Chain A
Amino acid sequence: MNQRRFELHLPGLLKVLAEHLYSSKKVGVRELLQNAHDSCIRRRLEEKDPDYEPRITLSLQPRQRLLTIIDNGSGMTEEEIGSYLATIGRGYTREMRERLSFSSPEEASELIGQFGLGFLSAFLLAEEVKVVTRSFRGGPALLWESRGDENYTLTDAKKGNVGTTVTLRVKPAASFVLQKALLLESVRNFADFLPIPIHWQDDDEPINLMQAPWEADDPEQAILAFIQRVFHDKHPLAVFPLRNAKVSLGHDSLTVPMNGFVYVPAVSVASVREFGDMRVYIRRMFICDRQEHLLPPWARFVRGLIDCPVLQPTASREDIHQDDYFDSVRQALEEQLSQELRKLARSDPPRWKNLVRCHTDVILGWAVRDNDFFDQVKDIVALRTSRGLLTMPEYLKLSGGTLYYVTRELGSLQEQLLAEGRDVPAIDASWFSVEPFLEKYAAAQRKIKRVQLDGEADELLRPAPERPLAPLLAWYAEQGIAARVAAFEPKDIPALMIYPPDAELMKASQDALNKRDDRDKDALSKSMAPLVRMFVSDRLDEETHWQGTLCLNASCPFLKNLAKKQAAPALPSVLRLLYQHARLFCGRLMSPAEAAQAYAEFTRSLQEIVP
């Protein structure tokens, strides 16, 4: 077999690496800063001068379209320029880290560079790059120049201090770096946590923070300030710092080194966000924002920041690989977050309650889906009820073991009123995940009964003798209005309109069958008519009052008194008023025309009473 070597088309490869490896031109700033940073670290580690003060300086000459990055790091010899700067895929930093990883892992962890590709990103920003460098090891200062093609020149230069000056002639497409404010914003975004000061020209104050917020004297305040500045969340409900964590790998365990924090924002954005997200740093350098997969899927209400050296960046360092290390970090994050939430629920119930209130929908939705999470939160989540937020145990204590809930989006005031009348709060299950949560809760504890009040309001009425209100029932019967007597609270309610479950479907079906004419644009199709007819005829057989039943309240003193005044001339008007009022208050199954008609009769009755 004849083995052959691949050929390399250098101009093409350079173009791909410089222009297409990175998705954003801003990354060019980060790579240049990182090279300067690693160079300073190298000098400190190799020169071992206790007085060495590393410094990176940025300056701009917008008219000449020049951006300059100066570091007083190690600089490069001619040999190093040939071996590293001008060799794609080979990086001094990586080799140095590999050398140090056994002898001095802490020092190794300070270095960031990995791939030997980063310098190419200078051509994302620039059409021409000049590097003037002088090595701490001695030798002449050198000038390296390139326009991003396969050639470069190397000549002697004048430079007094050790270090490197990189000057970019900025492309029109990267003009943002020529605006000081945007350049400084990029520096802060990428390099805030780097320990080496990055200065704007001769400014004394560095641009970057030089430390991560968790390293500040008052980490709690620093983290809150960071959240406010970067995440724009002013009042997080809870913040949990991250710490190194041991995760089980089954056969072994691994300590995941990590720093950072996770926090719960005050506002739920459940309708759009499908994930909790993390801002990712590796060795203090910003890598990516809104990483969706590091947090467990149930933690949709959580955001945060992680700095973790075991995460592996992609070659462009704009994202991270989802490898075994990623899974371990994810596991560690999940374990810490679960622990912290459980701890919060135990130690600070009012805060936990507030957190759950702000994110109930997301929490319930995930609890329905995940059995373990359900067990963790089922008795802690607080549901909206007619008496405010209540946990399930609190609710069941009040309701005597039955879950009374309403599902209608426009509210079910009548049913809630009835529930309250029985001294039972009603759960608002109008949002998507509440009803399945209640189903799951009831299924897990078999003794619990569920009653959907909008449809089964009968459950809240007590039977009562008809006789005291018989004259009123007789009058309604004469008018063809279905009425019955029941006792319910509050006593001040004289009558309510109760519809059977499926009343809306019955009405829609009956209307559709009556309309069945091919000329109607929304006519029922021929195939569905027999089935819809079956639905209607089955239910008509049930002797149910689909038009609703007026329930006269046997507990209402006014009604009892009214029944004794059969001779009162205003009686029919009052009874009509009660009927129409009950229909209108119930608010169900009325078209606008029917509501207008009911109001007309309501007003007519009032006029009869007070002409």
Chain B
Amino acid sequence: MIDIWEWFKDKELEYEDQKDKARLAMARSFFSALDLQETNPRAMIAKLRQVRARAKLLGEPWWGFLSEVWLAQAYSCYIGDLREALRQALHCVHESRKLVLREHPWRLAAHNILLGCYVDIDVLGYAAAIRETLYELDREIPAGPNAHRYVMLGYQRRSLIEQGKLRQAEKNALHVLDLLDEDDNDDNSFYLLSPLHHLCWLCFKTKDWERVRAFAIEAEATARTRDTSEADIAVSQIWQATAERQAGDAARAKRLFRKAHERMKPLQAVPGDNYFDAVVAFHELGEDLDLAERAREQQLKVLEGKGQVGLQCDVRIKRCELLARLGRLARRDLDCARKALAPLKAPKAYEKRIRQLEKLMERAAPKASRSS
């Protein structure tokens, strides 16, 4: 399999040698688009469209396809609009069927992005199709360490976490770390970040604080080797802050948290759920449930109208859970959460959580009236 970054470098050198200004400008536009992913994803999209237009003019289908795949990636990861991402990813999947793109190093990336869209839209609702796709992708992606495998395993891990299979998710994350240990390609160190952040969260759940700290430090060090990982650095710092808070160093915890917050401020890319999960974990540990609830509220705003219906329901219910702990859960919050289930294909698991909250509320109501 051709390594995409090697291919980029070869092409750039080739265009320089041939003094092919038009193609060199196209390649450089592409790289400058990638640089904008965190700071200005809308501009990234404009640039990628420009690359696509140039590729078309110059008769360069591989560059055209690359920009198409990154457009899907931009909608999915940096704008967070899953409706647009799904359309674009599906378009890429159809494009990838063309003979001229059969050997394209990012053909499988298009497949992974479509899988990611369904995981992000409604992981439980599309569980069967996702399972089948994961099974087939496992066979299609070359064995051993490679970028496509890490991404595919990442979506498998997300799927396991949403299904509550946390042990398997941890096993998956550790397997990816092992694979990356065997990987000679330094460019792939980026793929450490997702499993490390998942491990932080999984270890937080089991209160394994030393491992939270260790994984978070490793994640920050990895993120710092890249130019466009500001959000990843921030998430790593929040997990470190959480570990410090647990260890009793409140001042250092606050300092780390503030640094992370400052780091996120100038970014225009939407924060991912890993960011909000880390923020909520930090506040919950400090019993700042108000702040945790506010973070979930902010997350709901970010998710609004972007097609991530499964995650939206999950976050809505998590917010209700926090409100219940604060003693402020109201009927209308639960009604809203229930209403949000409408577009889901498999709402049962969410309904169960809402019913549990209802029972909690009912049990709390007589107590409240007795105390009043």
Contacts and interface: CB of A to CB of B under 8 A. Distances in A.
Interface of A: 271-274, 364-365, 368-370, 431-433, 435-437, 439-440, 502, 505, 508-509, 512, 521-535
Chain A interface helix/strand/loop/mixed: helix
Contact of A525 (B45, B86, B140): B140
7 contacts: A273-B25, A369-B36, A432-B53, A527-B115, A528-B93, A530-B129, A534-B129
B63 to A, nearest CB: 14
A499 to B, nearest CB: 14
Given A509-B94, A522-B98, A531-B129, A436 B53 contact: no
B255 to A, nearest CB: 28
B46 A433 contact: yes
Contacts of B49: 432-433, 435-436
Contacts of B97: 512, 522-524
A272 B111 contact: no
A502 B129 contact: no
Contact of A436 (B25, B46, B57, B139): B46
A271 B111 contact: no
A369 B46 contact: yes
Given A272-B21, A432-B50, A531 B115 contact: yes
Contacts of A364: 46
Nearest to A522: B97
Contacts of A532: 90, 93
Contacts of B99: 521-522
Given A274-B29, A527-B136, A505 B46 contact: no
B195 to A, nearest CB: 22
B39 to A, nearest CB: 10
Given A512-B97, A522-B99, A524-B97, A530 B133 contact: yes
Interface in B89-141: 90-91, 93-94, 97-99, 111, 114-115, 118, 126, 128-130, 132-133, 136-137, 139-140
A482 B57 CA distance: 39
B132 A530 contact: yes
Nearest to B58: A271
A193 B129 CA distance: 73
A432 B46 contact: yes
Nearest to B42: A436
B40 interface: yes
A436 B52 CA distance: 14
B43 A534 contact: no
Contacts of A528: 93, 111, 114, 133
B136 to A, nearest CB: 4
Given A525-B111, A531-B114, A271 B129 contact: no
B92 to A, nearest CB: 10
A273 B25 CA distance: 7
Given A509-B94, A527-B111, A528-B93, 12 more contacts: A368-B43, A368-B46, A369-B43, A370-B43, A436-B42, A436-B43, A505-B91, A508-B94, A525-B111, A525-B140, A527-B137, A530-B133
Contacts of A433: 46, 49-50
B4 interface: no
B87 interface: yes
A523 B36 CA distance: 35
Contacts of A437: 46
A525 B129 contact: no
Nearest to B89: A531
Contacts of A274: 25, 28-29
Contacts of A526: 136, 139-140
A535 B94 contact: no
B198 interface: no
A585 to B, nearest CB: 25
Given A274-B29, A369-B36, A508-B94, A534 B118 contact: yes
A523 B98 CA distance: 9
B213 interface: no
A437 B49 CA distance: 12
Chain B interface helix/strand/loop/mixed: helix
B175 to A, nearest CB: 20
Nearest to A361: B50
A432 B53 CA distance: 7
Contact of B133 (A271, A432, A523, A531): A531
B22 interface: yes
Given A271-B57, A531-B133, A533-B129, A512 B45 contact: no
Interface string B53-71: 1100100000000000000
B90 A368 contact: no
A272 B132 CA distance: 45
A505 to B, nearest CB: 6
A431 B87 CA distance: 19
B50 A509 contact: no
Nearest to A525: B140
Contacts of A509: 90, 94
A264 B87 CA distance: 39
Closest 9 CB pairs of A and B: A432-B49, A369-B43, A527-B136, A530-B129, A436-B46, A522-B97, A530-B132, A368-B46, A527-B137
Which of A436, A524, A529 lies at the interface centre, i.e. has the most chain B CB atoms within 10 A of its CB? Answer: A436
Contacts of A273: 25
Contacts of B128: 530
A459 B129 CA distance: 34
Contact of B87 (A368, A435, A505, A534): A505
Contacts of B87: 502, 505
Contacts of A524: 93, 97
Interface in B17-57: 21-22, 25, 28-29, 36, 40, 42-43, 45-47, 49-50, 52-54, 57
Nearest to B95: A508
Which of B45, B93, B137 lies at the interface centre, i.e. has the most chain A CB atoms within 10 A of its CB? Answer: B93
Contacts of B43: 368-370, 436
Contacts of A272: 21-22, 25
Nearest to B152: A527
Nearest to B117: A531
Nearest to B67: A432
A541 to B, nearest CB: 10
A512 B138 CA distance: 22
Nearest to B49: A432
A202 B94 CA distance: 74
Contacts of A529: 136
Nearest to A437: B46
Contact of A534 (B40, B52, B126, B136): B126
A437 B46 CA distance: 8
A531 B94 contact: no
B111 A365 contact: no
Given A368-B43, A525-B136, A531 B54 contact: no
A591 B355 CA distance: 52
Nearest to A272: B22
A520 to B, nearest CB: 9
Interface string B246-271: 00000000000000000000000000
Contact of B94 (A271, A432, A512): A512
Nearest to B45: A436
Contacts of B137: 527
Contacts of A523: 97
A435 B40 CA distance: 15
A505 B86 CA distance: 11
A372 to B, nearest CB: 12
Which of B50, B54, B87, B111 lies at the interface centre, i.e. has the most chain A CB atoms within 10 A of its CB? Answer: B50
A365 B54 CA distance: 14
B90 A535 contact: yes
Which of B90, B118, B132, B136 lies at the interface centre, i.e. has the most chain A CB atoms within 10 A of its CB? Answer: B90
B185 to A, nearest CB: 23
Interface string B306-338: 000000000000000000000000000000000
Contacts of A435: 49
Contacts of B21: 272
B54 to A, nearest CB: 6
A528 B116 CA distance: 12
